[in-house]
Amino acid sequence: MTRRLARALVAAATVTVVSFGLTACESEFLSAQDGWQYSLSRSASPTPSVTPSPSRAPAPSASASPVEPTPAPTPAPVDPGFNAALHSIDDPASRWVVSNKLRPLSPVGFVPPDLVAATVPFVSNPYMRPDAATAIAVMFAAAAAEGAGALQIQNAYRSYDTQVRVYGDWVSRVGQASADAQSARPGHSEHQTGFGVDITSLPARCSIQECFGQTPEGVWLAGNAYRFGFILRYPAGMTDVTGFIYEPWHFRYVGTKLSTEMRERGVETLEEFFGLPAAANYAG
């Protein structure tokens, strides 16, 4: 009985030990299996996608960078401080006076009080207002220095009486209708203000002719006169506004403030700039 009891006790102890060992090994295996399965599931599944933050889109690769469009040219800025009422457009002594077929000078026989002879080559009558005379000398020097060629005054100031003779000569040669398209009636001429000037090359070529606009001197003047305070008073295609044919030789001194402002705004005529009625024809 003692031996049988002893064998039974030994067998029970062995089963307990074996059972305990299997449980420990199984527990250890399951833990390892759990880890392997987690590792497998991570390596077997595709790389997780990441939803970009709404505020930050993924940056494009260098090879796929879009080509930035060329920006449109920016218009030249308009001076916000420009004062269009700085000078009178009615006073014949003002550098901004507007004289045209609807706006005769007042008084009609106005004579500038301070005419001086511009110190530049001239064909006839180089008299101008002092600031205009100074500016034209600087402009002629710049034209020569910049390769445009030599310039001279064809004529500048003309009195009321002189304009009577000039206009009358045009009428006698081509008739009043044609004369009105290319010569101002007495009292309406910019030449009478001392601010208007006809320019030609030196030596003269295409003087008082449309072809002057195609000469190197004419081209330079059209593109650069504003720098010195002059504007091309009767540009091409603007007869319905100014009342006169294209005159690439006729320039008007207005000062650099106004000439530059007109250039930057892209406005060619004084009538348009100051909001005046078109002056294609005389009132009567």
Q: Which residues pair with 122 in a beta bridge?
A: 153
C-alpha span between 283 and 72 (Å, rounded): 44
28, 146, 210, 247: the active-site residue:
247
Distance between CA atoms of 117 and 27, rounded to whole angstroms?
117
Dihedral (CA of 181, 88, 222, 192) sign: positive
Task: Compute the CA torsion angle 105, 107, 109, 111 (nearest 10 deg).
Answer: -90
Query: Among this protein's residues, is 28 annotated catalytic?
Result: no
Q: What residues act catalytically?
A: 247
